[in-house]
Amino acid sequence: ELKVEQNPLFLSMQEGKNYTIYCNYSTTSDRLYWYRQDPGKSLESLFVLLSNGAVKQEGRLMASLDTKARLSTLHITAAVHDLSATYFCAVKSGGSNYKLTFGKGTLLTVNP
């Protein structure tokens, strides 16, 4: 059974600082997603990573995938308050194109 572990689960950081969220998964998968969720809102797709070594960047966020290490990272550069949200990674499960196993989420709070 696929297990997806995110850490940290809670992250409080100051504006202007850099930090990384880690997503480890237990079995081979060829697809990994990062989502953002604001309180009481839906999930917004941030990145889709499909191959080993994939790196994608959008604004202050950069995601990467190492399929050999079964690890994805979400790097935050020079954090701003607007980035405060919960971030989930999700990994394609087994042979289904539809099933995703989500991590528990990282609650990010950016303080002035």
Binding residues vs another protein (CB under 8 A): 31, 33, 35, 40-45, 48, 50, 88, 90, 92, 96-100, 102-105
Looking at beta carbons only, is 71 or 107 nearer to another protein? Answer: 107
| One-letter identity of residue 12 | S
d(CA 47, CA 32): 8
Rg (C-alpha) for the chain, rounded Å, is: 13
Looking at beta carbons only, is 8 or 16 nearer to another protein? Answer: 8
Question: How near is the Cβ of 10 to another protein at its closest, in Å?
Answer: 11
Nearest alpha-carbon partner for 105 in 71, 74, 76, 78: 74
Looking at beta carbons only, is 18 or 52 nearer to another protein? Answer: 52
Joined together, the tokens standing for residue 50 give 């499909």
Question: How near is the Cβ of 16 to another protein at its closest, in Å?
Answer: 28
